[in-house]
Amino acid sequence: MNEENSSAQNYNHVLEEMRRHSKKHGVEMPTLVCVSKTYDAQAIQPVIDAGARVFGENRVQEAQGKWPELKAATPDIELHLIGPLQSNKTKEAVALFDCIQTVDREKIAKSIAKEMKAQEKSLKLFVQVNTGSESQKAGILPDEALEFVRFCQNDLALEIEGLMCIPPFDENPGPHFALLRKLSREAGVEKLSMGMSADYLTATEFNATHVRVGSGIFGARDYSKA
């Protein structure tokens, strides 16, 4: 993305590309999740002003530092947790977020179910699948995904909206998107969160319902500030 462009211009550009690409391939236009991790409220506001309403953050504590105020000012914002959740942060996560995309093990599913009940708040939930079976990566293994979705639905009465994946960064993402789509159909869940700045158009072709774009909107991240 052009470094000289403003984040608002980048946001509109990404939306336009998605629109063009979904039309060309005859697929539904996904929801654009603007990933604002490492960026502060001041950097995020222009993208809200440009019309964005769905945002993603990957750390609970970082999100707590900026989103309560931003959400108070623009109440129709939908905030997604897209990073791993520890059970000692579930209470805060359920209070702040509208969607958790990273449900990936029994312990965290149980703790989310318990907190949603305690707070009388219902969040949208996605199960994260480790499509590349990478040992260091979060997510349920593909072989265990269906059983885990059933566990969430039947044992915990959680409504699972869909599946989410982060393909290995050095691999062609297409086969991973195809695998996630196949698993979602087998599990009978509708939503597919896949695709980031480098591959959101590919993900769109594979019927993503949500793409998560960070640097393509906000610019390169400076992790020393995170």
Name the site residues for ligand PLP (rule: CB under 6 A): 35, 37, 58, 82-83, 166, 196-197, 212-216
**What crossing angle do the helices spanning 174-187 and 142-150 adopt, rounded to 10°?**
30
Taking the complex as a whole, the smallest distance from the CB of residue 131 to ligand PLP amounts, in Å, to 13
Map tokens 């994946």 to a residue: 165
Where are the alpha helices (H) located in the chain, listed in sequence order? Answer: 7-25, 41-49, 60-64, 67-73, 90-96, 106-119, 142-150, 174-187, 200-205, 215-218
Taking the complex as a whole, the smallest distance from the CB of residue 197 to ligand PLP amounts, in Å, to 3
Of 73 and 220, which CB lies nearer to ligand PLP in the complex structure?
Answer: 220
Taking the complex as a whole, the smallest distance from the CB of residue 118 to ligand PLP amounts, in Å, to 27
Q: What token pair was written down for 187?
A: 């599990």
Residue nearest ligand PLP by beta-carbon distance? 214
Of 191 and 212, which CB lies nearer to ligand PLP in the complex structure?
Answer: 212
How long, in residues, is the chain? 226
Taking the complex as a whole, the smallest distance from the CB of residue 12 to ligand PLP amounts, in Å, to 16
Taking the complex as a whole, the smallest distance from the CB of residue 61 to ligand PLP amounts, in Å, to 15
Taking the complex as a whole, the smallest distance from the CB of residue 33 to ligand PLP amounts, in Å, to 8
Bridge partners (DSSP) listed for residue 56: 35, 80
Of 152 and 217, which CB lies nearer to ligand PLP in the complex structure?
Answer: 217
66 Cβ partners below 8 Å, 6+ apart? 40, 41, 44
Of 93 and 213, which CB lies nearer to ligand PLP in the complex structure?
Answer: 213
Of 142 and 195, which CB lies nearer to ligand PLP in the complex structure?
Answer: 195
91 burial (CB, 10 Å; 0-12 / 13-18 / 19+) is middle
Of 109 and 196, which CB lies nearer to ligand PLP in the complex structure?
Answer: 196
Map tokens 């590919």 to a residue: 202
27 burial (CB, 10 Å; 0-12 / 13-18 / 19+) is middle
Of 34 and 152, which CB lies nearer to ligand PLP in the complex structure?
Answer: 34
Taking the complex as a whole, the smallest distance from the CB of residue 188 to ligand PLP amounts, in Å, to 24
Alpha carbons 156 and 55: distance in angstroms, whole number: 27
